[in-house]
Amino acid sequence: MFSGPAVYVMWLREMKRYSRAKSRVLGSLIMPIFFLAFLGLGFRRMPVPGLEGGLSYLHFLVPGIVGMTLLFSSTMQGLSVLWDREFGFLKEIMVAPVSRVSIVLGRIAGGVTTTMIQAVLILAVSAVLGFRPKSAGGLLLGFGFMILIAFTFIGFGLIFASRMKDMQGFGVVMNFIVFPLFFMSGALYPLDNLPRPLRILSYLDPLTYGVDGLRGALIGTSAFSPAMDLAAMAAFATIMVVLGAYFFEKSESV
């Protein structure tokens, strides 16, 4: 049975853990900032097919780096499940008189909030470097895509975390999966530059549609239509959250 207070308590716990982990906040921002500074500025004179109106490679790159931030931060949310299992907290909440669905929804809500904070910080840094979204409406649509990306990969991380018991193994497996998802998404280069077999695989990558949707919303350039990107991300987010909740509900607390 759904319990609103349980969802709120789990969300609040995630927020308190995030606010107290200053090194976690800083560490999550360093790599995206390096990408923006060294790639965005270093290749700012490089022409990118399809970009018009004086847009530079930095404008092409920013949506990809925001997507990268959401991807890495969201998938690693699953690590908190393993951490709670390791120290016994998961067992305590599993026997509480609330549904596991409420517990997982609270975790997802907290994870979405923290990853969105990181993505907004990256957007703020990119603004300092010279990036500007095309319109306020486009920025709002971009936030919608960011939320869908976060939901998708938090659910993805929960699926693996619910089936694993080793924190070190989780990190290895996630890196083995997450980096290919990132590089095949077109975050750093146009998908048309990829060989045909890899380009076909990229169409199965949820982040491809998230990054493309962000580009369409923020700079007005995209490989697919905004409606297609939105529909694909909504479908991926729904599937991953449902599967994540299902596997979490079936997982063992010890």
Q: For residue range 173-220, list pLDDT tens digits in order.
A: 777 888 999 999 988 888 888 888 888 999 999 999 999 999 999 998
Q: What per-residue confidence (pLDDT) applies to 120?
A: 92
Q: Cβ(228)–Cβ(211) under 8 Å?
A: no
What are the pLDDT digits (tens) for 79-103?
A: 777 777 776 666 666 666 667 677 7
Name which of 165, 63, 156 is nearest 111 in CA terms.
156
CA angle 210, 70, 41 (to 5 degrees): 85
Contact at 8 Å (CB) between 170 and 160?
yes
Domain count, the chain: 1
- Among the ranges given (5-9, 50-54, 135-139, 228-232), the one the predictor scored with the smallest mean pLDDT: 50-54
Average pLDDT over the chain, rounded to an integer: 83
- Asked which of 34-43, 135-144, 178-187, 206-215 is least confident by mean pLDDT, the reply is 34-43
Threshold 0.85, pTM exceeds: yes
Range of the domain at 212: 4-250
1: pLDDT strictly greater than 60: no
Q: Which residues neighbour 239 within 8 Å (Cβ) at sequence distance 6 or greater?
A: 155
